[in-house]
Structure formats: structure tokens, C-alpha cells
């Protein structure tokens, strides 16, 4: 496998050795069909992970996004779990075997009961220090592998607005999972984008101390643009400096493609490659999602959807539900588009 790099003109991704263009087209492998996170089963059910990777490759993926949970990788504020790092190394070997590149997203606190009490009790400085220790350990483990596409510092981080301190580190849940996380609970009189940039500048050197090669990004909510209404504080043009590319999560709404494309254009305006790191027919049908992907090509350089371990054939079997039908239509569309997009 060739490592992935940014092209010399800074506009897209290339294979580092050949210089040939690389277009990320893949899946978030964030949980299985039962809602279990990867670390909940990757020890006892390793064969499931092997099967799922082979299935994702068979569907036409070249990238898999993995979501690493902080509590599973850190035993204390500065104490990584050796067993988890060893299993991550095993995952890298599997990715190399299947020729799948990994988007390694870190610092997850998706299942609230699994978040260590000691971690919740840290202040901002202590929390950032632990987050840097996490990334230092992960980067040291992964640096030598060509299968790393990127390190994504955190899924959907937010700097709180308003003057009141946040009571919790996690944002509102989505079902039983908490995908949004605050990087501070009290920004005081600091500008939100300044806090976001300071946080990024704390974590990037922790990675670069061990790995100067692989790309770094952060998974942004679509409401990160500096415009009226709800915002995350991670204003792309103000925080992009230390990042190699922009990753944004966009779920187009029915009959609102133009609005989604306008949002994408706001992220592309930074002038760095953009990956739509989460996309799925959650708020529109598969046909409209397919159209959006086609229309997004001038501004997007990659797309990552979802795979939860159930193949199209398995989705077609047994009792049919709306959820199964949506997932099936998504996977069929993904497979149909794969070759043309990756060319």
C-alpha cells in the first residue's frame, strides 16, 4: 500500500509514491447491527471484524472510518491501555491485508456509561492533556503503517456559545449515543474559534512527535460555518491552519440539495481538500442523495457513508423494515457508484 498525501497543488489527495489521484470512498464502521461499538466486540469476535472488512472491500470501499473510544484506550489521565493499542495494531494489519485505508477518529465518548469518572472530573487543561496523551499513544502505534488515511482529532467537537458554563462535557444524545462533545465547559471571555484553534494546536504536536507523515483533520458538524443561528465555534477558515484537510458531516434534506451544496461550498472556500466524512439517506431518499453526491464533486474530494455489518443479501432476507430498506438502497447505490468515483 502506498501512503496517502495531499497533492502538490494542495487541491486533492494522491498516492504518495505514484502521485496518482486518490478519492476516499468508504464507510463509517462506527457500530454493529446491535449498536455495539468496535471495542465491545473486537477482542472476542475478531472474525466478525475480518468479515466486515472483507464485505466493505467487496462493496467497493477504499476507506473505513474507525471510532476509538477514550475510555477503552486510556486507563488513567496519562496511562494508555497496552492491550487496546495492540488490538489497534492488529486492525492496521487487517486494513493492510484488505488494502483499506483507515480514518482513525479518536477521543470518543459515545456510550456515556463507559466514560471514566476520572475523565469527567478533569478540568479543561487536564482534559486536553489526556487527549494529547491519547493521540501520542495512537500515533506512535500507527506511524509505520501505510494503511492510515488520517487521524481525525474528534468527532463533532463544539466550543459552547453564551456566557453560562456547560454542566456536561457531552452534547445531546442521538438514541443511546453521544456523538457531540464540548472541548471546554467554560470559555470565559475567549473567542470560540480561538479556543478551537488552541485545542487543535495542543493535539496536532502530540501526533507529529511520532508521525510526521499521515494526514490530520477534525470531523466538523455542518453548522460550523460563521453564519446566523446555531454554530460550533469551529469556524473552518479560522481553525484550518494546522489541519491537512477539512472533514464535514452533511446529511442533505429532502428537496434541499441547494442548501446542502451551499454549506459544502462554505467549507471548500478554505482552499483545502474536503471530505464529506458522514453522509447517508437519513433526511432524504437515496435518489436525491445520489444526485447530491454527483453535484458535490466540484467541491468534495471524498465521501464516507455507513456500514453496520449487514450485507445487501442479508438485508434482503427475513422480515422487511423501513430501516433495512433504506440501508439496502444506500449500499446498492454505494456499490454502483464506487468504480466511477474512485477512477
Q: pLDDT 10s digit of each residue in the chain, 343 long?
A: 999 999 999 999 999 999 999 999 999 999 999 999 999 999 999 999 999 999 999 999 999 999 999 999 999 999 999 999 999 999 999 999 999 999 999 999 999 999 999 999 999 999 999 999 999 999 999 999 999 999 999 999 999 998 899 999 999 999 999 999 999 999 999 999 999 999 999 999 999 999 999 999 999 999 999 998 889 999 999 999 999 999 999 999 999 999 999 999 999 999 999 999 999 999 999 999 999 999 999 999 999 999 999 999 999 998 999 999 999 999 999 999 998 998 7
Is 7 part of any domain? no
What is the pairing mode between strands 101-108 and 63-69? parallel
98 close to 54: Cβ distance less than 8 angstroms? yes
Please provide residue 215's backbone torsions phi and psi, each rounded to the nearest 5 degrees: -75, 155
Is 76 part of any domain? yes
Separation CA 227–CA 237 (nearest Å): 13
Q: What is the CATH number of the domain that holds 323?
A: 3.20.20.80
Place of cell 438514541: 175
Is 8 part of any domain? no
Q: Give the per-residue SS3 of 43-103.
A: CCCHHHHHHHHHHHHHCCCCEEEEEEEHHHHEEECCEECHHHHHHHHHHHHHHHHHCCEEE
Is 1 part of any domain? no
184: domain range?
A: 25-336
Question: What's the whole-model pTM score?
Answer: 0.97
**Long-range own/partner contacts, residues 83-91 (CB < 8 A, 24 or more apart):** 84/39, 85/137, 85/138, 85/141, 87/39, 87/42, 87/43, 88/138, 88/141, 88/142, 89/141, 90/46, 91/42, 91/49, 91/66
Is 12 part of any domain? no
Is 3 part of any domain? no
3-state class (DSSP) for residue 220: strand
Separation CA 181–CA 218 (nearest Å): 12
Place of cell 500507527: 142
14 close to 7: Cβ distance less than 8 angstroms? yes
Torsion of CA 293, 296, 301, 306, to 10 degrees: -30
Residues near 222 by beta carbon (within 8 Å), at least 6 away in sequence: 248, 249, 250, 251, 263
DSSP letter assigned to residue 107: E
How many structural domains comprise the chain? 1
pLDDT at 342: 82
User: What residues form DSSP beta bridges with 74?
Assistant: 80
pLDDT at 163: 84
Separation CA 202–CA 131 (nearest Å): 9
Place of cell 472476542: 44
Separation CA 64–CA 87 (nearest Å): 16
Separation CA 17–CA 15 (nearest Å): 6
pLDDT at 235: 98
Residues near 166 by beta carbon (within 8 Å), at least 6 away in sequence: 160, 182, 185, 186
User: What residues form DSSP beta bridges with 318?
Assistant: none
Is 230 part of any domain? yes
Q: How many CB atoms lie within 10 A of CB 66?
A: 20
Is 20 part of any domain? no
Amino acid at each position: 500500500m502506498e501512503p496517502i498525501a495531499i497533492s502538490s497543488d494542495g487541491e486533492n489527495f494522491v498516492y504518495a509514491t505514484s502521485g496518482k489521484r486518490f478519492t476516499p470512498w468508504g464507510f463509517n464502521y462506527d457500530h454493529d447491527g446491535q449498536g455495539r461499538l468496535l471495542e465491545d466486540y473486537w477482542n472476542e469476535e475478531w472474525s466478525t471484524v475480518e468479515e466486515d472488512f472483507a464485505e466493505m472491500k467487496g462493496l467497493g470501499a477504499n476507506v473505513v472510518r474507525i471510532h476509538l473510544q477514550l475510555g477503552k484506550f486510556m486507563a488513567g489521565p496519562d496511562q494508555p491501555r497496552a492491550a487496546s493499542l495492540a488490538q489497534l495494531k492488529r486492525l492496521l494489519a487487517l486494513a493492510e491485508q484488505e488494502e483499506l485505508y483507515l480514518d482513525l477518529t479518536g477521543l470518543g465518548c459515545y456510550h456515556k456509561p463507559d466514560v471514566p469518572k476520572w475523565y469527567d472530573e478533569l478540568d479543561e487543561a487536564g482534559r486536553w492533556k489526556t487527549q494529547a496523551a491519547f493521540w501520542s499513544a495512537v500515533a506512535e502505534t500507527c506511524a509505520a503503517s501505510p494503511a492510515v488515511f488520517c487521524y481525525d482529532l474528534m468527532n463533532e467537537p463544539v466550543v459552547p456559545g453564551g456566557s453560562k458554563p456547560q454542566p456536561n462535557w457531552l452534547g445531546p444524545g442521538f438514541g443511546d449515543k453521544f456523538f457531540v462533545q464540548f472541548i471546554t465547559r467554560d470559555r470565559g471571555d475567549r473567542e470560540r474559534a480561538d479556543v478551537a484553534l488552541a485545542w487543535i494546536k495542543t493535539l496536532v504536536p502530540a501526533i507529529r512527535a511520532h508521525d510526521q507523515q499521515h494526514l490530520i483533520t477534525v470531523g466538523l458538524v455542518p453548522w460550523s460555518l460563521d453564519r446566523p443561528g446555531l454554530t460550533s465555534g469551529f469556524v473552518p477558515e479560522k481553525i484550518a491552519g494546522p489541519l491537512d484537510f477539512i472533514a464535514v458531516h452533511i446529511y442533505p434534506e429532502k428537496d434541499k440539495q441547494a442548501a446542502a451544496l451551499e454549506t459544502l461550498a462554505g467549507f471548500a472556500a478554505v482552499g483545502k481538500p474536503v471530505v464529506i466524512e458522514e453522509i447517508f439517506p437519513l433526511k432524504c431518499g437515496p435518489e436525491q442523495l445520489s444526485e447530491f453526491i454527483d453535484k458535490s464533486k466540484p467541491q468534495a474530494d471524498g465521501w464516507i457513508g455507513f456500514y453496520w455489518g449487514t450485507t445487501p443479501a442479508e438485508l434482503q432476507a427475513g422480515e422487511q423494515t423501513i430501516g433495512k430498506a433504506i440501508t439496502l438502497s444506500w449500499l446498492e447505490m454505494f456499490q454502483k457508484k464506487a468504480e466511477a468515483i474512485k477512477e
